Structure 1
Protein backbone atom coordinates (compact mmCIF):
# COMPACT_ATOMS: atom_id res chain seq x y z
CA UNK A 1 0.00 0.00 0.00
CA UNK A 2 1.38 3.43 -0.96
CA UNK A 3 1.46 5.69 2.11
CA UNK A 4 3.03 8.63 0.29
CA UNK A 5 1.18 11.87 1.22
CA UNK A 6 -1.44 12.54 -1.43
CA UNK A 7 -1.13 9.07 -2.95
CA UNK A 8 -4.68 8.16 -1.97
CA UNK A 9 -5.93 11.16 -3.97
CA UNK A 10 -4.09 10.30 -7.17
CA UNK A 11 -6.50 9.88 -10.06
CA UNK A 12 -9.47 11.34 -8.19
CA UNK A 13 -11.38 14.31 -9.67
CA UNK A 14 -9.90 17.62 -8.42
CA UNK A 15 -13.28 18.94 -7.32
CA UNK A 16 -13.88 15.83 -5.20
CA UNK A 17 -10.46 16.18 -3.53
CA UNK A 18 -11.03 19.84 -2.67
CA UNK A 19 -14.65 19.45 -1.54
CA UNK A 20 -13.67 16.65 0.88
CA UNK A 21 -10.72 18.73 2.09
CA UNK A 22 -12.97 21.67 2.95
CA UNK A 23 -15.24 19.42 4.99
CA UNK A 24 -12.55 17.24 6.55
CA UNK A 25 -9.77 19.77 7.20
CA UNK A 26 -11.71 23.01 7.76
CA UNK A 27 -15.07 21.61 8.93
CA UNK A 28 -16.83 23.87 6.42
CA UNK A 29 -20.25 22.90 5.14
CA UNK A 30 -20.30 22.39 1.39
CA UNK A 31 -22.97 21.61 -1.17
CA UNK A 32 -22.74 20.63 -4.85
CA UNK A 33 -23.82 23.25 -7.37
CA UNK A 34 -24.48 23.22 -11.08
CA UNK A 35 -21.77 22.47 -13.65
CA UNK A 36 -20.73 23.98 -16.96
CA UNK A 37 -21.46 21.94 -20.08
CA UNK A 38 -19.11 22.56 -22.98
CA UNK A 39 -20.17 22.30 -26.60
CA UNK A 40 -20.42 24.47 -29.68
CA UNK A 41 -20.13 28.08 -28.56
CA UNK A 42 -19.94 29.24 -24.94
CA UNK A 43 -20.43 26.69 -22.22
CA UNK A 44 -23.94 26.40 -20.88
CA UNK A 45 -25.16 25.80 -17.37
CA UNK A 46 -26.51 22.40 -16.39
CA UNK A 47 -29.64 24.19 -15.10
CA UNK A 48 -30.65 24.57 -18.81
CA UNK A 49 -31.59 28.24 -18.41
CA UNK A 50 -30.12 30.05 -21.46
CA UNK A 51 -30.13 33.31 -19.47
CA UNK A 52 -28.48 31.85 -16.37
CA UNK A 53 -26.67 34.63 -14.48
CA UNK A 54 -24.11 32.28 -12.88
CA UNK A 55 -23.53 29.46 -15.36
CA UNK A 56 -22.06 26.44 -13.64
CA UNK A 57 -21.77 28.17 -10.29
CA UNK A 58 -25.06 28.28 -8.38
CA UNK A 59 -27.14 25.86 -6.28
CA UNK A 60 -28.61 22.95 -8.20
CA UNK A 61 -31.39 22.26 -5.68
CA UNK A 62 -33.90 24.58 -4.01
CA UNK A 63 -33.22 23.01 -0.61
CA UNK A 64 -29.45 23.45 -0.86
CA UNK A 65 -29.27 25.21 2.52
CA UNK A 66 -30.72 22.18 4.29
CA UNK A 67 -28.60 19.72 2.32
CA UNK A 68 -25.25 21.41 2.98
CA UNK A 69 -22.97 19.14 4.99
CA UNK A 70 -19.54 19.06 6.59
CA UNK A 71 -19.55 15.25 6.71
CA UNK A 72 -16.58 13.99 4.63
CA UNK A 73 -18.39 10.76 3.74
CA UNK A 74 -21.45 12.58 2.48
CA UNK A 75 -19.33 15.06 0.53
CA UNK A 76 -17.24 12.27 -1.01
CA UNK A 77 -20.40 10.50 -2.16
CA UNK A 78 -21.80 13.68 -3.73
CA UNK A 79 -18.71 14.37 -5.84
CA UNK A 80 -18.23 10.70 -6.70
CA UNK A 81 -21.71 10.82 -8.23
CA UNK A 82 -21.25 14.36 -9.67
CA UNK A 83 -17.49 14.85 -10.26
CA UNK A 84 -17.96 18.08 -12.25
CA UNK A 85 -20.37 19.81 -9.86
CA UNK A 86 -19.19 23.20 -8.63
CA UNK A 87 -18.32 23.51 -4.93
CA UNK A 88 -20.49 25.96 -3.02
CA UNK A 89 -19.77 27.12 0.53
CA UNK A 90 -22.79 28.47 2.44
CA UNK A 91 -22.06 31.75 4.22
CA UNK A 92 -23.40 32.80 7.61
CA UNK A 93 -22.39 29.50 9.23
CA UNK A 94 -18.66 28.89 9.62
CA UNK A 95 -17.90 32.30 8.15
CA UNK A 96 -19.28 35.42 6.49
CA UNK A 97 -17.66 36.99 3.44
CA UNK A 98 -16.70 40.57 2.56
CA UNK A 99 -17.11 40.80 -1.23
CA UNK A 100 -15.29 43.57 -3.14
CA UNK A 101 -14.02 44.25 -6.70
CA UNK A 102 -10.67 42.59 -7.39
CA UNK A 103 -8.68 45.81 -7.94
CA UNK A 104 -9.88 47.33 -4.66
CA UNK A 105 -9.42 44.02 -2.88
CA UNK A 106 -5.80 43.69 -4.01
CA UNK A 107 -5.10 47.27 -2.91
CA UNK A 108 -6.65 46.58 0.49
CA UNK A 109 -4.86 43.23 0.80
CA UNK A 110 -1.45 44.86 0.31
CA UNK A 111 -2.31 47.52 2.89
CA UNK A 112 -3.54 44.94 5.40
CA UNK A 113 -0.33 42.96 5.05
CA UNK A 114 1.74 46.10 5.68
CA UNK A 115 -0.39 46.80 8.77
CA UNK A 116 0.20 43.26 10.02
CA UNK A 117 -3.51 42.46 10.24
CA UNK A 118 -4.53 38.86 10.73
CA UNK A 119 -6.17 37.62 7.54
CA UNK A 120 -8.23 34.58 6.68
CA UNK A 121 -8.49 32.83 3.32
CA UNK A 122 -9.35 35.00 0.32
CA UNK A 123 -11.02 33.73 -2.88
CA UNK A 124 -10.62 35.33 -6.31
CA UNK A 125 -13.74 34.75 -8.41
CA UNK A 126 -14.10 35.59 -12.12
CA UNK A 127 -17.24 37.27 -13.39
CA UNK A 128 -19.55 34.97 -15.32
CA UNK A 129 -20.21 37.57 -18.02
CA UNK A 130 -16.62 38.30 -19.05
CA UNK A 131 -13.01 38.85 -18.00
CA UNK A 132 -13.85 42.15 -16.29
CA UNK A 133 -15.68 42.29 -12.99
CA UNK A 134 -13.57 39.84 -10.98
CA UNK A 135 -14.19 39.85 -7.23
CA UNK A 136 -12.27 39.03 -4.06
CA UNK A 137 -14.04 37.30 -1.19
CA UNK A 138 -12.50 37.80 2.27
CA UNK A 139 -13.56 35.11 4.76
CA UNK A 140 -14.31 36.53 8.24
CA UNK A 141 -16.07 35.46 11.42
CA UNK A 142 -19.84 35.14 10.95
CA UNK A 143 -22.22 37.91 11.98
CA UNK A 144 -21.03 40.88 9.92
CA UNK A 145 -23.73 40.82 7.23
CA UNK A 146 -26.37 42.46 9.42
CA UNK A 147 -23.91 44.96 10.90
CA UNK A 148 -22.10 46.18 7.77
CA UNK A 149 -24.41 49.11 6.83
CA UNK A 150 -24.13 50.60 10.33
CA UNK A 151 -20.34 50.07 10.46
CA UNK A 152 -19.92 51.84 7.11
CA UNK A 153 -22.19 54.67 8.25
CA UNK A 154 -20.02 55.22 11.33
CA UNK A 155 -16.97 55.34 9.04
CA UNK A 156 -18.65 58.11 7.04
CA UNK A 157 -19.85 56.14 4.02
CA UNK A 158 -23.44 56.62 2.89
CA UNK A 159 -25.50 53.50 2.08
CA UNK A 160 -24.83 52.24 -1.44
CA UNK A 161 -21.78 54.48 -1.89
CA UNK A 162 -19.27 51.60 -1.94
CA UNK A 163 -19.14 48.35 -3.88
CA UNK A 164 -18.60 46.44 -0.64
CA UNK A 165 -21.02 43.62 0.12
CA UNK A 166 -21.34 41.26 3.09
CA UNK A 167 -22.52 37.72 2.40
CA UNK A 168 -24.11 36.02 5.37
CA UNK A 169 -26.94 33.66 6.26
CA UNK A 170 -28.80 32.35 3.20
CA UNK A 171 -26.04 33.20 0.72
CA UNK A 172 -23.05 31.28 -0.65
CA UNK A 173 -19.73 31.65 -2.43
CA UNK A 174 -18.12 29.52 -5.12
CA UNK A 175 -15.04 27.67 -3.92
CA UNK A 176 -11.88 26.78 -5.87
CA UNK A 177 -11.32 25.07 -8.22
CA UNK A 178 -14.91 25.46 -9.48
CA UNK A 179 -15.37 26.84 -12.97
CA UNK A 180 -17.40 30.05 -13.23
CA UNK A 181 -18.93 30.69 -16.64
CA UNK A 182 -16.66 30.42 -19.65
CA UNK A 183 -13.97 32.80 -18.39
CA UNK A 184 -12.10 31.08 -15.62
CA UNK A 185 -12.00 29.28 -12.31
CA UNK A 186 -12.36 30.36 -8.71
CA UNK A 187 -8.87 30.49 -7.18
CA UNK A 188 -7.38 31.12 -3.77
CA UNK A 189 -5.68 34.51 -3.51
CA UNK A 190 -4.76 33.40 0.02
CA UNK A 191 -5.37 29.66 0.44
CA UNK A 192 -6.59 28.03 3.66
CA UNK A 193 -3.65 27.08 5.88
CA UNK A 194 -2.76 26.33 9.47
CA UNK A 195 -1.83 30.00 9.90
CA UNK A 196 -5.25 31.35 8.93
CA UNK A 197 -7.41 28.64 10.47
CA UNK A 198 -8.74 31.22 12.96
CA UNK A 199 -10.70 33.78 10.97
CA UNK A 200 -10.41 37.53 11.61
CA UNK A 201 -13.11 39.77 12.99
CA UNK A 202 -14.61 41.67 10.06
CA UNK A 203 -14.35 44.94 11.98
CA UNK A 204 -10.56 44.82 11.54
CA UNK A 205 -10.84 44.57 7.74
CA UNK A 206 -13.76 46.84 6.88
CA UNK A 207 -11.88 50.13 7.20
CA UNK A 208 -9.06 49.26 4.73
CA UNK A 209 -11.56 47.60 2.39
CA UNK A 210 -13.86 50.63 2.46
CA UNK A 211 -10.92 52.97 1.84
CA UNK A 212 -9.77 50.90 -1.16
CA UNK A 213 -13.29 50.66 -2.60
CA UNK A 214 -13.76 54.42 -2.22
CA UNK A 215 -10.41 55.13 -3.84
CA UNK A 216 -11.20 52.92 -6.83
CA UNK A 217 -14.61 54.55 -7.24
CA UNK A 218 -13.14 58.07 -7.46
CA UNK A 219 -11.80 57.83 -11.06
CA UNK A 220 -15.21 56.65 -12.27
CA UNK A 221 -16.93 59.58 -10.57
CA UNK A 222 -14.32 61.99 -11.94
CA UNK A 223 -15.07 60.84 -15.49
CA UNK A 224 -18.77 61.58 -15.17
CA UNK A 225 -19.94 64.86 -16.78
CA UNK A 226 -20.13 67.60 -14.18
CA UNK A 227 -23.18 69.90 -14.09
CA UNK A 228 -22.59 73.44 -15.40
CA UNK A 229 -23.15 76.07 -12.74
CA UNK A 230 -25.89 78.60 -13.37
CA UNK A 231 -24.63 81.57 -15.39
CA UNK A 232 -21.56 79.69 -16.72
CA UNK A 233 -21.08 78.46 -20.27
Structure 2
Protein backbone atom coordinates (compact mmCIF):
# COMPACT_ATOMS: atom_id res chain seq x y z
CA UNK A 1 0.00 0.00 0.00
CA UNK A 2 1.25 3.46 -0.91
CA UNK A 3 1.78 5.17 2.45
CA UNK A 4 1.73 8.63 0.90
CA UNK A 5 -1.64 7.89 -0.71
CA UNK A 6 -3.07 6.71 2.61
CA UNK A 7 -1.91 9.85 4.41
CA UNK A 8 -3.10 12.16 1.62
CA UNK A 9 -6.54 10.51 1.59
CA UNK A 10 -6.89 10.69 5.39
CA UNK A 11 -6.00 14.40 5.34
CA UNK A 12 -8.40 15.05 2.46
CA UNK A 13 -11.31 13.37 4.27
CA UNK A 14 -10.55 15.33 7.45
CA UNK A 15 -9.81 18.75 6.02
CA UNK A 16 -11.88 18.89 2.82
CA UNK A 17 -14.94 16.87 3.86
CA UNK A 18 -14.76 17.52 7.63
CA UNK A 19 -15.16 13.78 8.18
CA UNK A 20 -13.56 12.54 11.36
CA UNK A 21 -10.91 9.88 10.75
CA UNK A 22 -9.15 7.34 12.94
CA UNK A 23 -6.38 4.84 12.14
CA UNK A 24 -7.27 1.19 11.75
CA UNK A 25 -5.45 -2.12 11.52
CA UNK A 26 -4.19 -3.21 8.11
CA UNK A 27 -3.41 -6.44 6.29
CA UNK A 28 0.06 -7.96 6.53
CA UNK A 29 1.69 -10.89 4.73
CA UNK A 30 3.30 -13.54 6.92
CA UNK A 31 4.69 -16.76 5.43
CA UNK A 32 2.45 -16.58 2.36
CA UNK A 33 -0.58 -15.83 4.54
CA UNK A 34 -2.53 -12.59 4.75
CA UNK A 35 -3.37 -11.64 8.32
CA UNK A 36 -4.64 -8.66 10.27
CA UNK A 37 -2.01 -6.50 11.94
CA UNK A 38 -3.88 -6.99 15.23
CA UNK A 39 -2.23 -10.44 15.36
CA UNK A 40 -5.42 -12.43 16.04
CA UNK A 41 -5.69 -15.49 13.83
CA UNK A 42 -9.46 -15.48 14.39
CA UNK A 43 -9.91 -11.78 13.56
CA UNK A 44 -13.39 -11.33 12.08
CA UNK A 45 -12.59 -8.00 10.38
CA UNK A 46 -9.02 -8.33 9.12
CA UNK A 47 -7.58 -4.96 8.20
CA UNK A 48 -10.95 -3.37 8.82
CA UNK A 49 -11.20 -2.37 12.47
CA UNK A 50 -9.81 0.51 14.55
CA UNK A 51 -6.39 0.42 16.18
CA UNK A 52 -7.70 1.80 19.45
CA UNK A 53 -10.71 0.86 21.55
CA UNK A 54 -11.18 4.64 22.02
CA UNK A 55 -11.34 5.26 18.26
CA UNK A 56 -14.68 7.07 18.50
CA UNK A 57 -13.18 9.65 20.87
CA UNK A 58 -9.81 9.88 19.13
CA UNK A 59 -11.23 10.39 15.62
CA UNK A 60 -10.26 13.81 14.34
CA UNK A 61 -10.75 16.39 11.60
CA UNK A 62 -7.40 18.04 12.35
CA UNK A 63 -4.86 17.69 9.56
CA UNK A 64 -2.06 18.13 12.09
CA UNK A 65 -3.39 15.30 14.22
CA UNK A 66 -3.91 13.07 11.16
CA UNK A 67 -0.25 13.57 10.23
CA UNK A 68 0.77 12.58 13.76
CA UNK A 69 -1.41 9.47 13.77
CA UNK A 70 -0.28 8.22 10.36
CA UNK A 71 3.29 9.21 11.16
CA UNK A 72 3.12 6.69 14.00
CA UNK A 73 1.11 4.14 11.96
CA UNK A 74 1.91 4.74 8.27
CA UNK A 75 0.12 1.61 7.01
CA UNK A 76 -3.06 2.19 9.01
CA UNK A 77 -6.41 1.77 7.33
CA UNK A 78 -8.65 4.82 7.31
CA UNK A 79 -11.63 4.49 9.66
CA UNK A 80 -14.57 6.88 9.16
CA UNK A 81 -17.05 6.97 12.07
CA UNK A 82 -20.71 6.88 11.06
CA UNK A 83 -23.41 8.79 12.93
CA UNK A 84 -21.69 12.15 12.70
CA UNK A 85 -21.48 13.71 9.23
CA UNK A 86 -23.12 10.71 7.59
CA UNK A 87 -24.76 7.33 8.16
CA UNK A 88 -24.46 4.40 5.77
CA UNK A 89 -26.87 1.96 4.13
CA UNK A 90 -24.91 -1.26 3.55
CA UNK A 91 -26.18 -3.85 1.05
CA UNK A 92 -24.86 -6.73 -1.11
CA UNK A 93 -22.99 -5.59 -4.21
CA UNK A 94 -25.53 -6.91 -6.73
CA UNK A 95 -28.48 -5.30 -4.96
CA UNK A 96 -26.49 -2.10 -4.56
CA UNK A 97 -25.67 -1.94 -8.28
CA UNK A 98 -29.32 -2.53 -9.22
CA UNK A 99 -30.45 0.19 -6.81
CA UNK A 100 -27.74 2.57 -7.99
CA UNK A 101 -28.78 2.18 -11.64
CA UNK A 102 -32.43 2.79 -10.75
CA UNK A 103 -31.64 5.83 -8.60
CA UNK A 104 -29.54 7.33 -11.39
CA UNK A 105 -32.37 6.78 -13.91
CA UNK A 106 -34.73 8.55 -11.51
CA UNK A 107 -32.32 11.48 -11.26
CA UNK A 108 -32.05 11.15 -7.48
CA UNK A 109 -29.38 13.09 -5.64
CA UNK A 110 -26.76 10.61 -4.44
CA UNK A 111 -24.02 10.92 -1.90
CA UNK A 112 -20.75 9.00 -1.98
CA UNK A 113 -21.04 5.26 -2.58
CA UNK A 114 -18.34 2.89 -1.36
CA UNK A 115 -17.48 -0.63 -2.53
CA UNK A 116 -15.83 -3.05 -0.09
CA UNK A 117 -13.69 -6.14 -0.73
CA UNK A 118 -16.50 -8.10 0.93
CA UNK A 119 -18.68 -7.37 -2.13
CA UNK A 120 -20.89 -4.82 -0.38
CA UNK A 121 -22.00 -1.37 -1.50
CA UNK A 122 -22.33 1.37 1.09
CA UNK A 123 -24.54 4.41 0.39
CA UNK A 124 -23.74 7.52 2.43
CA UNK A 125 -26.85 9.30 3.76
CA UNK A 126 -27.63 12.04 6.25
CA UNK A 127 -27.30 10.83 9.86
CA UNK A 128 -30.18 10.20 12.23
CA UNK A 129 -32.45 7.58 10.63
CA UNK A 130 -31.10 4.49 12.41
CA UNK A 131 -34.18 3.94 14.59
CA UNK A 132 -36.74 4.81 11.91
CA UNK A 133 -35.35 2.63 9.12
CA UNK A 134 -37.06 -0.66 10.10
CA UNK A 135 -40.46 1.06 10.09
CA UNK A 136 -39.72 2.64 6.71
CA UNK A 137 -38.90 -0.79 5.28
CA UNK A 138 -42.08 -2.30 6.79
CA UNK A 139 -44.21 0.45 5.24
CA UNK A 140 -42.74 -0.47 1.88
CA UNK A 141 -44.04 -4.00 2.36
CA UNK A 142 -40.96 -5.93 3.47
CA UNK A 143 -39.81 -7.43 6.74
CA UNK A 144 -36.50 -5.79 7.70
CA UNK A 145 -35.13 -9.03 9.12
CA UNK A 146 -35.65 -10.74 5.74
CA UNK A 147 -33.50 -8.24 3.83
CA UNK A 148 -29.71 -8.25 3.72
CA UNK A 149 -29.65 -4.54 4.49
CA UNK A 150 -27.69 -2.95 7.31
CA UNK A 151 -27.81 0.60 8.57
CA UNK A 152 -24.58 1.92 10.08
CA UNK A 153 -25.03 4.81 12.46
CA UNK A 154 -23.63 6.08 15.74
CA UNK A 155 -20.96 3.77 17.18
CA UNK A 156 -20.21 2.13 13.83
CA UNK A 157 -17.77 2.90 11.04
CA UNK A 158 -16.65 2.23 7.49
CA UNK A 159 -13.17 1.68 6.06
CA UNK A 160 -12.34 4.29 3.42
CA UNK A 161 -10.17 4.05 0.28
CA UNK A 162 -7.36 3.43 -0.38
CA UNK A 163 -7.28 1.09 2.65
CA UNK A 164 -6.77 -2.65 2.19
CA UNK A 165 -9.37 -4.60 4.13
CA UNK A 166 -11.07 -7.97 4.18
CA UNK A 167 -9.98 -11.56 3.83
CA UNK A 168 -9.07 -11.03 0.18
CA UNK A 169 -6.20 -8.62 -0.26
CA UNK A 170 -7.85 -5.73 -2.03
CA UNK A 171 -8.58 -2.08 -1.62
CA UNK A 172 -11.87 -0.47 -0.85
CA UNK A 173 -12.84 1.92 -3.63
CA UNK A 174 -15.37 4.63 -4.43
CA UNK A 175 -18.15 3.79 -6.88
CA UNK A 176 -19.25 7.40 -6.56
CA UNK A 177 -16.42 9.41 -4.96
CA UNK A 178 -16.92 12.29 -2.54
CA UNK A 179 -16.94 15.49 -4.60
CA UNK A 180 -18.23 19.01 -4.10
CA UNK A 181 -21.57 18.15 -5.76
CA UNK A 182 -22.36 15.49 -3.13
CA UNK A 183 -20.93 17.25 -0.10
CA UNK A 184 -24.32 16.85 1.63
CA UNK A 185 -25.61 13.27 1.31
CA UNK A 186 -29.31 12.62 0.75
CA UNK A 187 -31.88 11.69 3.35
CA UNK A 188 -32.17 7.91 3.73
CA UNK A 189 -35.92 8.20 3.05
CA UNK A 190 -35.16 9.33 -0.49
CA UNK A 191 -33.15 6.19 -1.29
CA UNK A 192 -34.65 3.42 0.78
CA UNK A 193 -37.43 2.30 -1.61
CA UNK A 194 -35.16 1.37 -4.57
CA UNK A 195 -32.53 -0.08 -2.24
CA UNK A 196 -35.01 -2.23 -0.29
CA UNK A 197 -36.65 -3.37 -3.55
CA UNK A 198 -33.27 -4.40 -4.98
CA UNK A 199 -32.43 -6.31 -1.78
CA UNK A 200 -35.79 -8.08 -1.85
CA UNK A 201 -35.17 -9.23 -5.44
TM-score of the pair, normalised by structure 2: 0.96
What does residue 162 of structure 1 align with? 147
SS in 2 for 1:15: helix
- Any gaps of 5 or more consecutive residues in structure 1? 1-10, 128-133, 216-233
- Any gaps of 5 or more consecutive residues in structure 2? none
What does residue 7 of structure 1 align with? none
Aligned counterparts, 1:1-233, within 5 A = 13-127=4-118, 134-181=119-166, 182-215=168-201
Quote the Cα distance in structure 2 between the aligned partners of 1:73 and 1:146: 35
* Cα gap change, 1:24 to 1:31, in 2 (>3 Å): same
Quote the Cα distance in structure 2 between the aligned partners of 1:211 and 1:115: 14
SS in 1 for 2:181: coil
What does residue 131 of structure 1 align with? none
Quote the Cα distance in structure 1 between the aligned partners of 2:104 and 2:20: 28
SS in 2 for 1:143: coil
Q: Mean alpha-carbon deviation: is it higher for 34-43 or for 86-95?
A: 34-43
SS in 2 for 1:195: helix
CA contact (8 A) 2:34 2:169 kept: no
What does residue 4 of structure 1 align with? none
Relative contact order, CA 8 A, sep 6+: which one is greater? Answer: 2
Quote the Cα distance in structure 1 between the aligned partners of 2:78 and 2:86: 16
- In the comparison of the two structures, how many residue pairs are matched? 199
Q: CA deviation at 1:161?
A: 1.1
Q: Name the Cα RMSD after superposition.
A: 1.2
Quote the Cα distance in structure 1 between the aligned partners of 2:35 and 2:102: 38
Larger radius of gyration: 1
Quote the Cα distance in structure 2 between the aligned partners of 1:23 and 1:204: 27
Q: CA deviation at 1:143?
A: 0.7
TM-score of the pair, normalised by structure 1: 0.83
Query: Which is strand-richer, 1 or 2?
Result: 2
Quote the Cα distance in structure 2 between the aligned partners of 1:159 and 1:82: 39
